[in-house]
Structure 1
């Protein structure tokens, strides 16, 4: 089985998990933003900025995962190793700064992308 073919789906799942956690943790803040009518409801308030960026990065990972999945499905080639190295760097820095987090999920994804045998 070529597990690397699922690295895009794993990235989508990571983004979905991230946003579910964000929704659960930020539900109250999102409710206040909804009461303010959403438009310009973030401003400079730290809790609103935090939930906005938390959810935005989750969506970014889902979008990235979709692009990875589409590429893998259509080309039948592994992702370029550089993507794995960037994910690994992100995971190392992220886990150093914030060890109690979900950033650990990026280690297996990075290693999967780096170690796959490349099609010639």
Structure 2
């Protein structure tokens, strides 16, 4: 059985739809029933979205994004090095936690969208 390679357009479509929290198949139904809970079937097209095992990828990519785009650039600011450590943590940690928790469902949706595009088979 040969499987056709995904096109760049389908991967990008799945990525965008998933990141917006929409069904990657139709782009109209909602992907999530709760914060990170994937809706088993799309209420619009009936597509089985439970077959895409996002597992550990979304937290990994979220940490990667926050670490590279926020934490690393923070190190160039003088206050990081001059203020007491406890104060720096009190200032920075709530913002990092909020950003991470905000990005996590976006990244999880994007991962599900990419899995849809590449035709990830159901887990056995």
TM-score range, shorter chain: 0.3 to 0.5
Q: Please tell me whether Structure 1 or Structure 2 has the larger radius of gyration of its CA atoms.
A: 2
- Structure having the larger proportion of residues in helix: 1
Instruction: State the TM-score, normalizing by the size of structure 1.
Output: 0.34
Instruction: State the TM-score, normalizing by the size of structure 2.
Output: 0.34
